[in-house]
Amino acid sequence: TSGPMATVEASGSDGKGRGVETSVTYYRLEEVAKRNSPKEIWLVIHGRVYDVTRFLNEHPGGEEVLLEQAGGDATESFEDVGHSSDAREMLKQYYIGDVHPLLVVLDLPHRRCYSLRFSVSLLHGGEQVLLRRPC
């Protein structure tokens, strides 16, 4: 299979009488893993998927570090650098969807080692969960 696993649209009220609509596209980890070359680079940071292809030659930290993380979970390396709030703000322009939490969990028994973070809430702003089996 290919393409995003699902797009979930939700609408509701924000409690102040205003309508709120949210749309989240969920990707399988295998889909992300394919985008691992300079032609197309996707990264996962805190359970969110970013297409950083057009950011590659603009990254102040260089292309190399992004290529190293391409197609995988870059949460730890992104946080280790101590990126500024400006850098965190920039993430938004490259956001394309989320990693689906349930699929990630189901896939774990097949993996020898892993370190995965994702947000539990269907909508944004949920708790972060870290699942880890060290290599």
Binding site for ligand HEM (CB under 6 A): 43, 50, 52, 55, 59-61, 65-66, 69, 74, 77-78, 81, 83-84, 86-87, 90-91, 94
CB of 21 to ligand HEM, least distance (A): 25
The Cα–Cα gap between 96 and 51 comes to: 7
**Which is nearer to ligand HEM, 25 or 77 (by Cβ)?**
77
Residue closer to ligand HEM, measured from CB, 46 or 59: 59
Torsion angle, CA of 38/88/119/56, rounded to 10 degrees? 0
Are 36 and 52 in contact, with CB atoms under 8 Å apart?
no
CB of 68: closest distance to ligand HEM in angstroms?
A: 7
SS (H, E, C) 72-85: CECHHHHHHCCCCH
